[in-house]
Amino acid sequence: MTADAHVEEHFAGSNKLFISIWVWLLALTLVEIFLAYKPMPIYLMLAVLLGLSIIKAALIIAYFMHMKFERLSLILTIIPMLVVCIMLLFVFFPDSFRSAGLRYQFKEQPAVAPPAAEEP
């Protein structure tokens, strides 16, 4: 037996797989651009665009960052950190909205008319 008889194969995907994922990402981006120009309620637009962006991020993480091909233990260590980051955003966003009202509000002084010249 040779030393490299017990080499593990690590599947990292094929070019065909990555091209198909790239085409899906391109299609989702084109749908987002198309929806950005459609008149619709802002809350509906934000919900749809956010959903499409989450799908795109999941595809990028799974295939281009090779998380789909990693061990489950590595993935399970990343998910709790993602939850912690999201929870920190929920903690700090209300404080940022409160502090926005504390900023100096510039108010322009009304123009004062020059005093009328007295006639001699």
In the chain, % of residues over pLDDT 70 = 83
Highest-pLDDT range among 20-34, 56-70, 84-98: 20-34
Judged against a pLDDT cut of 90, whether residue 80 lies above it is answered with: no
* DSSP 8-state code for residue 4: G
> Helix 15-36 vs helix 42-59: angle between axes, to the nearest 10 degrees?
170
Identity of the amino acid at 37: Y
Q: What confidence tier does 12 reach under pLDDT thresholds 50, 70, 90?
A: low
pTM value? 0.54
Q: What is the pLDDT of residues 99-114, one digit of tens each?
A: 767 767 777 777 777 7
Q: What is the CB neighbour count within 10 angstroms for residue 63?
A: 20
- Reference 49, options 70, 69, 35; nearest CA is 35
Contacts of 55 (CB under 8 A, 6+ apart): 28
Judged against a pLDDT cut of 80, whether residue 56 lies above it is answered with: yes
Give the residue with greater pLDDT, 79 vs 106.
Answer: 79
Rounded CA separation 24/41 (Å): 26
- Reference 69, options 8, 12, 14; nearest CA is 12
